[in-house]
Structure 1
Amino acid sequence: MSFNSYAQKTASITLSNDSKDTISRHIYGQFAEHLGRGIYGGFWVDKTLPVPKQNRIRLDVVNALKKIKIPNLRWPGGCFADEYHWRDGVGPSAKRPKMINTNWGGVVEDNSFGTHEFLELCDLLGTEPYVSANVGSGTVEEMSKWVEYLNFDGASPLTKERAANGHPKPYNVSFWGVGNESWGCGGNMTPEYYAGEYRRYATYARNYPTAKLKRIASGSNAGDYNWTEVLMKNVGPRNMWGLSLHYYTLPTNNWSKKGPATGFGEKDYFNTLKNSLVMEELVTKHSAIMDKYDPNKRVALVVDEWGVWTDVEPGTNPGFLYQQNSLRDALVAGTTLNIFNNHCDRVKMAELAQCINVLQALILTDKEKMLLTPTYYVFDMYKVHQDAKYLPFKLNTPDYEYDGNKIPAVNVSASQDKAGKVHITLVNLDASSSITVTTELKDIIWKAVTGRVLTSGNVADVNTFAKPMTVAPKAFNSAKRDGNKLLVTIPAKSIVALELN
């Protein structure tokens, strides 16, 4: 099968209104690490850069993210979190110590963007902060005092210091990560050792009257199911709101040569999609282990690092993880968000890696220039699912076949918002064939359908500063009513978002 053949295929969906689950808005979270140009040159820019700013926070970036209603922002890492000492980033900027970012490029970190700057950014974004605390090289006291500094509304040396630094009232930060990738860059710990450390750190990360903590344990690397087993057995719902999971989609299966972000052919395209669908298996199997110890689903599965990871763009610092973002990446994003929506009974939170200029970014910048990537538009199309009622379904889909391998061509998720509108997001991964989908809607009353579609001429198409709208949503008119059934023809390599009124 080639990119240029246009065979017709069919799929069917039976959609039900029988559900009590909600798709948490926090599934649509983002991640900003002190890495490459994610913070410096992304959110936090030079005073002389001719763009609208508050302090040094770039406001065109803020406005773009506000439009897609990002619900949370994770900071300061990532691997950087476990070498970050929060006191280096508070107080007068000129007095803050400089350090070397040993994880990402060996560049100087000047700490001009610290706790207060991050929380000012979150306030501008209208989003909830998710702070990752240092367990790998930090102390219990250090994390405990950071929580007190941010959340205590009383008299103490730390609250006096916070007031002196410009914020008399507490910030009331609820989401706290207790370490990051403790199996790797966060300390190379065994799960048994980390479970003990988690319980110790979490004990001294106190709840204050104005802020009850949602503590998130450092969870598994992809398919390390033993890690989840040990954490659920040794910690479980006691003092643990969430357990994280990290999984990155590589075009190849080789970390030393991951594959290019641009100019790829159908082989790399297919393999990327096949690898992205592993997320379904990971979420299902980790959830099953969690169910064994937590049948009431009190502990959230938090997929706080996910996305496509390719080779960096030629000529850029290999430690900065700067890559272009194609239609292929958008299809991975749509597919992954559908998976999370469909597991919303356990997946309560997730963060794309990363927000700006790093990995599968929503936004790319070059000095004063800014563009929105194809992945950004997926989050724009899918924001309708945030805090909506999940609608279960049965799907029959044809396969997308390449070189003797096959994957399901269509994936979907659906929800109903508080106004009664039904939203269906469909992804057709087949590079060549449009697919006509017949949807039966049980116990759902509707009169009209509107939609948007994201696609382009080639799966490797990207948005550039010269041509920023190559891959952008357009009105979609290939959906119609047939009795109470919905008939939709999804173009090849596309994402379609429908609204039923």
Structure 2
Amino acid sequence: MKKKIAIILAMFLFGIFGVFSQNSTTEITIKSREESPIINKNIYGHFAEHLGRCIYDGFFVGDTSKIANTNGVRNDIIEALKALKIPNLRWPGGCFADTYHWKDGIGPREDRPTIVNQWWGGVTEDNSFGTHDFLNMCELLGAEPYLSGNVGSGTVQELADWVQYTNFSGKSPMSDLRKKNGREKPWHVKYWGIGNEAWGCGGNMTADYYADVYRKYTTFLSGDIERIASGASSDDYNWTETLMKNIPNRMLGGLALHHYSVIDWNNKGDAVDFSEDQYFKTMTEALKMEELVTKHAAIMDKYDPDKKIDLVVDEWGGWYDVQKDTNPGFLYQQNTMRDAVLAGATLNIFNNHADRVRMANLAQCVNVLQAVILTDKAKMILTPTYYVMQMYSVHQDAKLLPVKFDSPLYELNGKTLPAISVSASKDSNGLTHISLVNIDANKENKIEIDLNELGIKNATGTILTSKKLQDYNSFDNPTKIHPIDYKGFGIKKGKLIITVPPFSVVMIEGK
């Protein structure tokens, strides 16, 4: 009898504490500190590779197209990216960069040679979109160009000539050639990648070998530029250690890092038709970014304690199986609320590590992987990821406000993840922005933030969510998911109390 009573009592207490834990409030502390870093706007950068329909039939339709364009670049894409405040754009790859010879893409289009894109679909590349097209497009966008140099199949002279062609204002063979091709003034390209994925498609090099190659190439690149080394794949900490140890700090402006949120490289899963278990696994991979950035930054700190070298996460995002009935080499996939949650949580990680992470590039911008824009002939849609980037643009060049909290847990099949992701900043106008992501696919979470130190008296909110995790914007319903005003919060006794629905992204603006 006593045993039965004990069991009943235990069940009763478990029920009480179970309800309490589900309805408990997470307290978040946000501090305003003078020594906090600025969130570099370049964290919100993008990536455009000669891959699938990213450039051709994406950005570039040609100047004879009936689709409204400026020198062949779609006007609707230009306007959409300007509204996103796109700070930088990486080009021409990716794997494609180490097979790209820039001189093939200058001069009269009819004289440009063709090549086969061996990496992506085996299609013919006619080089109709080249250096002038890309750099002029960046000027239209108001974005800094980030050029990936060909180290895998190129030469030191070839890359040195490209730098001179784009940047030198005086008289030289390359600046004369630029002027002959119709561009008088240089573009002054600041960011230069010295190869891409040197450990893989960029040459299958060892870290020691690439460190020497990097030193050789950068020796011959002149001018006020930032040289960015081909960095590690995910958790290859030895690669970072080797480069930081063997490359003098004065030669290194940035060190790259690539990490994709992939369930299984042999079975990535569908971009739309996915289960909660697949969502959980995707977010597990996405949240690894916290560990990756922390550990790579710690290695960099050993050799660069003043944090002068940037950690550049120039490829990140979700990667799934390609959409059915599309070229498998084109990497075209839809974009759901899963991707919105992934983007929000990842950007929060970058913001919170703004002392070292100063550039990042979502892969990719148009029609490839976790794109912010999808096109179908004249039609164009903005994805849930686009709207997250737009909501978060308020963090660009704002002062980081450190956050501290113990996250509630999202549990599935005996495994757990932090359910809440947060970052905060204060901009030059004195406005405070708090971005919150609820990763939990089923339960809302209540947040409480003490506003006394922040001095916030009034607040407004915006939310991105939908009925199902699998929801997306289609060409038939292009605005199914878009940001709306959010009223699920209030200020009471100096505290901001927010209810964040399942799989949603919320932005609070306080003043």
Q: CA deviation at 1:238?
A: 2.0
1:214-248 per-residue CA deviation (whole Å, 9 max, x = no partner) reads 10000001100000000000114221110000000
1:129 counterpart SS class = strand
Find the aligned partners of 2:331 and 2:123 in 1 and give their Cα distance.
14
Distance 2:22 2:326 in 1: 40
Q: Aligned in 2, Cα 1:499/1:244: closer, same or farther, shift over 3 Å?
A: same
Give yes or no for the alignment of 1:249 onto 2:261. yes
Moved more, 100-109 or 469-478: 469-478
Q: CA deviation at 1:92?
A: 0.5
Q: Deviations over 1:71-104 (max 9, x none)?
A: 0000000000000000000001100001000000
Q: Where does residue 14 of structure 2 map in the other structure?
A: none
Partner residue of 1:92?
Answer: 108
Q: Which moved more, 1:305-314 or 1:165-174?
A: 165-174
Task: Give the conservation status (yes or no) of the 8 Å contact 2:96–2:117.
Answer: yes
Distance 1:459 1:48 in 2: 40
2:90 is aligned with 1:78? no
Q: Which of 17, 39, 59 is the matching residue for 1:43?
A: 59
Partner residue in 1 for 2:77 = 61
Contact map agreement 1:176 1:213 (CA 8 A) in 2: yes
Q: Which residue of 2 aligns with 1:164?
A: 180
Alignment-derived partner of residue 314 in structure 1: 324
Q: Deviation of residue 49 (structure 1)?
A: 3.7
CA displacement at 1:391 relative to structure 2: 0.3
- 272, 276, 300: which one aligns with 1:262: 272
Question: d(CA) in 2 for partners of 1:393 and 1:46?
Answer: 47
Greater RCO (CA < 8 Å, at least 6 residues apart): 1
Counterpart residue number, 2:389: 379
CA contact (8 A) 1:236 1:294 kept: no
**What displacement does 1:485 show?**
1.3
Q: 2:455 aligned with 1:455, yes or no?
A: no
Residue pairs, 1:373-412, within 5 angstroms: 373-412=383-422
Distance apart, 1:480 and its partner CA: 1.1
- Structure 2 unaligned spans of 5+: 1-18
Name 2:32's counterpart in structure 1.
Answer: 17
For the pair 1:347 / 2:352, whether they are aligned, the reply is: no
Q: Deviations over 1:440-477 (max 9, x none)?
A: 23521121000100000011111100011111111001
Q: Is the 8 A contact 1:428 1:493 kept in 2?
A: yes
Counting matched residue pairs gives: 491
Distance 1:41 1:304 in 2: 23
Q: What is the CA-CA distance between 1:395 and the residue it aligns to?
A: 1.2
CA contact (8 A) 1:16 1:441 kept: no
- Structure 2 residue aligned with 1:225, among 218, 222, 237? 237
Bigger Cα displacement from structure 2, 6-15 vs 464-473: 6-15
Name the residue aligned to 1:445: 455
Residues of 1 paired with 2:311 and 2:126: CA distance? 34
Please tell me the residue identity of whatever aligns with 1:85. H
Measure the CA separation in 2 of the matches of 1:156 and 1:265. Answer: 59
Give the Cα separation in 2 of the matches to 1:22 and 1:402.
36
1:357 aligns with 2:373: no
Separation in structure 2 between the aligned mates of residue 21 and residue 314 of structure 1, nearest angstrom: 44
Whether the 8 Å CA contact 2:489–2:497 is kept in 1: the answer is yes
Distance 2:506 2:66 in 1: 37
1:401-440 equivalence runs, <5 A: 401-440=411-450
1:127 lines up with 2:143 in the alignment: yes
Aligned counterpart, 2:46: 30
Partner amino acid, structure 1, of 2:504: S
Q: Distance in 1 between matches of 2:84 and 2:233?
A: 29
Q: What letter matches 1:265 in structure 2?
A: S
Superposed displacement of residue 158, structure 1? 1.2
More helix by share: 2
The whole-number CA distance in structure 2 between the counterparts of 1:117 and 1:316 is 27
What is the CA-CA distance between 1:393 and the residue it aligns to?
1.5
Larger mean Cα displacement after TM superposition, 441-450 or 469-478:
441-450
Shift of the alpha carbon at 1:48? 4.8
Query: Do the aligned partners of 2:101 and 2:154 also contact (CA within 8 Å) in 1?
Result: yes
Residue 433 of structure 1 aligns with an amino acid whose one-letter code is: K
1:78-134 alpha-carbon deviations (Å, 9 max, x no partner): 000000000000001100001000000000000000000001110110100000000
Match of 1:189 in 2: 205
Distance across 1 between alignment mates of 2:152 and 2:268: 28
Paired residues of 1:16 and 1:442 also in contact (CA < 8 A): no
Contact 1:327 1:374 in 2 (8 A): yes
Q: TM-score, normalised by structure 1?
A: 0.97
| TM-fit CA distance, 1:275 | 1.1
Shift of 1:482: 1.4
- Partner Cα distance (1:265, 1:123) in 2: 42
Structure 2 counterpart of 1:472, one-letter code? H
**TM-score normalised to structure 2 length:** 0.95
Aligned to 1:491: 501
Specify the SS of the correspondent of 1:277: helix
User: Which residue of the partner structure matches residue 202 of structure 1?
Assistant: 218
Q: State the AA in 2 paired with 1:40.
A: Y
Distance between the aligned counterparts of 2:358 and 2:249, measured in 1? 15
Q: How far apart in 1 are the matches of 2:464 and 2:428?
A: 26
8 Å contact from structure 1 (residues 22, 389) kept in 2: yes
Q: Which amino acid aligns with 1:217?
A: A
State the 1:197 CA deviation: 0.5
User: Displacement of 1:50 after TM fit?
Assistant: 2.8
Separation (CA, whole Å) in 2 of partners of 1:188 and 1:480: 55
Relative to 1, partners in 2 of residues 1:395 and 1:7: Cα closer, same or farther, differing over 3 Å?
closer
Please point out which of 145, 149, 152 is paired with 2:165: 149
Aligned residues of 1:236 and 1:299 also touching (Cα < 8 A)? no
Could you say if the C-alpha distance between residues 236 and 392 of structure 1 is closer, same or farther in structure 2, counting changes exceeding 3 Å?
A: farther
Identity %: 55
* 3-state secondary structure, aligned to 1:22: coil
Distance 2:22 2:349 in 1: 27
- DSSP 3-state at the match of 2:343: helix
Q: Deviations over 1:232-277 (max 9, x none)?
A: 0011422111000000001x2x212111101111111111111111
Measure, in 1, the Cα distance between the counterparts of 2:480 and 2:381.
11
Among residues 175, 178, 181, which one is paired with 2:194 in the alignment?
178
Secondary structure at 1:194 match in 2: helix
